[in-house]
Structure formats: C-alpha cells, structure tokens
Amino acid sequence: MISPDPKDSIYIALALAIRADIWSNDKRLKEKQNQITIFTTIEIMELTKFKKDNDY
C-alpha cells in the first residue's frame, strides 16, 4: 500500500494518474511513501517566497 491512511488512497491514485504533487501537512503521508512528492504549507510558502507579514 502506498498510502499509510486508506482514506488518502484516492488522492494518491489521482496524483499518480496525473503525475501531480500533493499539498498536505500529514507527516505520515509525507514520510511513509515515496511515490509522489508531498509539499507542506511551509514548503509551499518557501517555494513561492510568501512572507507571513505580507511584505511584497
């Protein structure tokens, strides 16, 4: 099984089918599988250079 939580299987299947990454803060999902890339909110913020104080 790819997903540590059966409820996440549909999302994993979709991501695999369309070759997409997932945005989730679920540590188990990120750590217990290696088929797709899981990005956390912090990682998305860092990738987009979003700042908490909205300093553009």
Residue 37 lies in a domain: yes
Residue with tokens 């299987």, as numbered in its chain: 9
Number of domains the chain is built from: 1
What is the per-residue pLDDT for 1? 64
Residue 11 lies in a domain: yes
The per-residue pLDDT for range 5-44, each reduced to its tens digit, is: 888 889 999 999 999 999 999 999 999 888 899 999 999 9
Q: What is the model's pTM?
A: 0.76
What is the per-residue pLDDT for 22? 96
Residue 53 lies in a domain: no
Quick one: tokens of 55?
């300093």
Residue 54 lies in a domain: no
Residue 30 lies in a domain: yes
Residue 56 lies in a domain: no
Domain that holds residue 23: 6-48
Q: Which sign, positive or negative, has the C-alpha torsion 14, 20, 24, 30? A: positive
